Each structure stands twice: as structure tokens, then as C-alpha cells.
Structure 1
Amino acid sequence: MSVIDCDYLPADKVVIPPELELLIVRKASAMAVAFEKQALDQLTKDARRALLRGTEPRRVIREMRL
């Protein structure tokens, strides 16, 4: 049996309704916004902590790969 003729591959293509696609896109967008906010907060917190310890700004930039 070749790879293309495998029994476990679905024969029917599932069509996602446009309404469901729109809801998925909206949800993904909301999740991306939340993740971006969390990442920004964490990076700012880490940079602030490093600067308070006396780390040079250039080193913070390098270590955070900014």
C-alpha cells in the first residue's frame, strides 16, 4: 500500500461554514491581543528588574534579544 492510498486518511473534505470561520478568526485575534499584552508586561517587568539591579541598558537589550 502506498502512502497516498492509506485507509486512515479521511475521504471527505469538511467544509467549514463562513460563520464559523469568522468566529474562529475573531477568537484567534482576541487570543493574540491577550498574549501580546502578557508578553509586553513580562518583558517590561524583566527589563525594569534588570535595570534596578544595575545592569547596563545595552546588556539588557542584548540579553533580551531586542
Structure 2
Amino acid sequence: MFVIDCDYIPEPEPVKFPPELALLIVRKASAMAAAFEEQALDQLTKDARRALAQGAEPRRVIREMRL
């Protein structure tokens, strides 16, 4: 593989990432993860209840849900 060295293309200026923006991104990601976790918990519980109501053995539910 060849690397072309082009002196006529300027190096991009490094972007200074503001700490305030980083903090807001972390907070938003945390909130999104919490919401996803809550949805996943609700869905898994709903699926397990349905399987048990249909007569499935608890061990089978555990195995099928890979718990």
C-alpha cells in the first residue's frame, strides 16, 4: 500500500472539545441508557410473564431468555 504525501493539502486544525459539551453528552448518554434499561426490563418481564402464563417451566424460560 502506498501513502501519498501531499504538501499542498494543509493539515486540519485540531478541534478543542469544550468540557461543558463533553459533560452534556455524558449526561444525555446516561439518560438514554437508563431509558433503554427500563424498556428492556419491562419487555423481558412481560415476555417471561406471558411464557409462564402459557404454562412454560421457569427453567425453560430462563434458558430461552439466556438468563
TM exceeding 0.5: yes
Deviations 1:27-62 (A, max 9, x none): 000000000000000000000000000000000000
Gaps of 5+ in 2: none
How far apart are residue 11 of structure 1 and its match? 2.4
Q: How many correspondences in the alignment?
A: 62
1:52 and 2:53 aligned? yes
Shift of 1:2: 1.2
Amino acid at match of 2:57: E
Structure 1 unaligned residues grouped into runs of 5+: none
The equivalent residue for 1:62 is 63
Distance in 2, matches of 1:29 and 1:19, equals: 15
Residue in structure 1 matched with residue 19 of structure 2 by the alignment: 18
Offset of residue 24 of structure 1: 0.3
CA distance in 1: counterparts of 2:17 and 2:32, whole angstroms: 21
- TM-superposed CA distance for 1:15, in Å, is 1.8
Moved over 3 A (4+): none
Greater Rg, structure 1 or structure 2? 2
CA-atom RMSD, angstroms? 1.9
2:40 is the counterpart of 1:39 = yes
Aligned to 2:30: 29
